[in-house]
């Protein structure tokens, strides 16, 4: 098992060197049928809240180079085979940092907890925010509930029209270069 705290310690300076903020570092089973693992990195450009393909590629190269250097020096960061996935967090992004719970207050979230809190293990409703380490949600069924952030296993924004309207537009650079052609029917 990989030490996520150590991986974050290695990866975060690489993201910061490119002007990005690290959103999440996660090890998960690979979707490839090789039985390996995937090291998933989510980061964002604070100016846009996203990464475009070129930014993902630049961060991926930096992370790969840094991990390779540490492994050549004898430090094993990840046991076994793995592949690296670098991405933008997307519109229905995970909420992992304190600032996420503040920045996205007023939007619908889905929260899963490590164990039941106040009779609830999952919450879905409007995020009110975070104060003194307590995340408050107006749950659809249970009403207003505050849970300790450290009890949250995962939290994610729910894709809604309000969220789409509030999200900065995706980078459309290069879109004006797309040329559409008509296909000719076979005679």
Same domain, 62 and 133: no
- The per-residue pLDDT for 117 is 84
176, part of any domain: no
Shared-domain flag, residues 28 and 67: yes
Do 43 and 114 share a structural domain?
no
pLDDT tens digits, one per residue of 82-112: 899 999 999 999 999 999 999 999 999 999 9
Query: 76 and 10, same structural domain?
Result: yes
CB of 3 within 8 A of CB of 25? no
pTM: 0.81
Tell me the per-residue pLDDT of 44-87, one tens digit each, with 9 for 90 and over: 999 988 999 999 999 999 999 999 999 999 999 998 888 999 99
Of 27, 59, 87, the domain-final residue: 87
The CATH number linked to 74 is 3.30.300.70
The total of structural domains in the chain comes to: 2
- In the predicted structure, residue 136 carries a pLDDT above the cut 70: yes
Cα separations in angstroms, 70 against 34, 77, 87, 102? 25, 8, 23, 35
Question: In this structure, are 79 and 106 located in the same domain?
Answer: no
Euclidean distance between CA atoms 65 and 68, whole angstroms: 5
The stretches of 30-133 forming alpha helices (DSSP H) are 53-72, 98-103
Give the model's pLDDT for residue 187: 46
Q: Is residue 185 included in any domain, yes or no?
A: no
What is the extent of the structural domain holding 155?
98-164
Residues 117 and 77 in one domain: no
pLDDT band at 183 (very low <50, low <70, confident <90, very high): low
Q: What is the mean pLDDT of residues 26-48?
A: 86
Residue 74 and residue 112 in one domain: no
pLDDT tens, residue by residue, 165-178: 888 665 555 545 55
CA distance 145 to 123: 9
Same domain, 108 and 49: no
Q: Whose CA is closest to 58, among 88, 95, 28, 96?
A: 88
Q: Which two tokens stand for residue 88?
A: 């933008």
The CATH number that applies at residue 146 is 2.30.30.180
Q: Show which of 41, 65, 87 is a domain's final residue.
A: 87
Same domain, 10 and 63: yes
Asked if residue 183 belongs to a domain, the reply is no
Question: Do residues 73 and 118 both lie within one domain?
Answer: no
């Amino acid at each position: 098992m990989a030490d996520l705290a150590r991986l974050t310690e290695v990866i975060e300076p690489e993201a910061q060197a490119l002007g990005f903020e690290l959103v999440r570092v996660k090890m998960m089973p690979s979707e490839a049928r090789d039985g390996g693992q995937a090291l998933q990195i989510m980061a964002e450009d604070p100016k846009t809240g996203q990464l475009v393909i070129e930014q993902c590629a630049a961060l991926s190269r930096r992370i790969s180079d840094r991990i390779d250097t540490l492994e050549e020096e004898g430090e094993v960061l990840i046991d076994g085979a793995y592949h690296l996935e670098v991405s933008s967090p997307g519109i229905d992004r995970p909420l992992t940092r304190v600032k996420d719970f503040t920045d996205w207050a007023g939007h619908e979230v889905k929260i899963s907890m490590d164990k039941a809190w106040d009779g609830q293990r999952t919450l879905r409703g409007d995020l009110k925010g975070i104060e003194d380490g307590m995340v408050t949600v107006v749950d659809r069924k249970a009403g207003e509930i505050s849970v300790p952030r450290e009890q949250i296993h995962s939290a994610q924004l729910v894709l809604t029209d309000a969220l789409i309207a509030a999200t900065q537009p995706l980078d459309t650079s290069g879109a004006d270069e797309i040329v559409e052609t008509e296909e000719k029917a076979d005679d």
